[in-house]
Amino acid sequence: MIDVRLLRTDLESVRARMVRRAKPELLLQLDEAVALDVRLRELATERDTLRRQVNDLSKQVGQLRRDGRAEEADSAMSQSRELGEQERALATQTSEVDEQLRQVMLRIPNIISDEAPEGVSDEANPVIRVHGLDGRTFADHQRVPHWETGVALGILDNERAAKISGAMFTMLRGAGATMARALCQLALDRNADAFEEIRPPTLVTTATLTSTGQLPKFADDAYAIERDDLWCVPTAEVPLTSISAGEILDEVELPKRFMAYSPCYRRESGSAGRDTRGLLRGHEFDKVEILAYAAPEQGRTLLDEFVARAAGTIEALGLPYRVIAICSGDLGQSHHLSFDIEVYAPGCDKWLEVSSVSWFGDYQARRADIRFRRTGQKGTEHVHTLNGSALAVPRVLAAILENYRLPDGSVAVPDVLLPYMRGMTTIGPK
């Protein structure tokens, strides 16, 4: 969440940044937060004043009794009890308003970077660069959608996946399952030079899901296990972010980098039938995530590195891709500055988002209470967090099935995946 002190010291700047998100209701939320913050401080002042009065009276009672002035001591004691009841009532009211303020602050999005381009929707997201399409043409055999190729080769069986789990679940078989695993291993290997590999839990607490910004706003898109107050992770970003929750790191530890493979679970409640064929959108999928804790001055450089790493893996796979800057009106709630990487799939004739790389400032760390102490200085600061999809399997696999489809209907294995494919160089029909 943003620092509540900004509402007291720099409100107009915060309002201007929220205007850039093109969501008028955010200004109403800000007004509500400001009013609650004012009320909270008023109540806290009244409560603390009463506490001091109660403490003073308690001291007077003791002294009066020592002086043998029992009647005056009883009167002071009675007054102290009355003020104590008022103080307890104020303390309860203060706690209630504090929680109300917290809930409003949890819904207020992050401060947008000045670098984020202006725009009200994804249609305004500018293309930063395109790779692999200069003068490139696609043959008819590459213009076949991956869901047809996958079924023909016997490696995609969504019909049985639906029988097992319902709509919008996918199932890869044989060489398809092998390639999915190979893609994850490739992404882990390419980032092992700088990132500690983690295999985190994929069921997390409400507090953990709240830390990254998924709750409370996106509860409808998450899978909840209500009996145990646990949630299925929508991405490994969630458990990775909270590894150091409630801890204070040393400056020399930063940047601190993690990577993780995990299954990911999303209801996709707002998809309304969009891109539901084949592998384009599903309730469960595999992904490798990279994440870092950083000092504020390290954030922007790390963001460029994350983009380069994610794009480099797509480039190594020989897939045409482009990098998109996310405009102000399309940024996610927790995001300060973000870039997407999209691959071109000739069979779908679409650009498919395969990676989102984001810098969150201290927004997530403030929720999770992750701080660091600078060498030789007193006090602490919240770290900055960054994360990115090193590789999300479904759409990358879809793009491979279309870009690498051969005239006979088989699919060539990208060279970079050959070491992971058990000797397979092509995927042909069974």
The whole-number average pLDDT for the span 280-304 is: 97
Q: What is the pLDDT of residue 149?
A: 97
99-150, pLDDT tens digit by residue? 999 999 999 999 999 999 999 999 999 999 999 998 889 999 999 999 999 9
CATH value at residue 76: 1.10.287.40
pLDDT value at position 218?
A: 84
User: Angle at CA 291, nearest 5°, toward 288 and 296?
Assistant: 160
With bands split at pLDDT 50, 70 and 90, how would you rate the model's confidence at 71? confident
Does 141 share its domain with 232?
yes
Phi, psi values for residue 31, rounded to 5°: -60, -40
| Whether the predicted pLDDT of 58 surpasses 90 | no
Domain of 313, CATH number, reads 3.30.930.10
Q: What is the DSSP letter of 202?
A: S
In a domain, 220, yes or no: yes
**Domain presence at residue 115:** no
Q: How far apart are CA 119 and CA 5, in angstroms?
A: 28
The number of distinct structural domains making up the chain is 2
Co-location of 150 and 217 in the same domain:
yes
Output the pLDDT for position 411.
98
Q: Are residues 136 and 91 in the same domain?
A: no
- Say yes or no: 95 and 131 in one domain: no
- Domain that includes residue 358, residue range: 122-427
128, 264: one domain: yes
Q: How far is CA 97 from the centre of its chain?
A: 28
Domain boundary (107, 130, 154) is at 107
Provide the CA 209 distance to its chain's centre, in angstroms.
Answer: 9
Which of these three, 75, 107, 139, is where a domain ends?
Answer: 107
Check residue 232 and give its pLDDT.
96
Element spanning 427, H or E: strand 426-427
Report if residue 112 sits inside a domain.
no
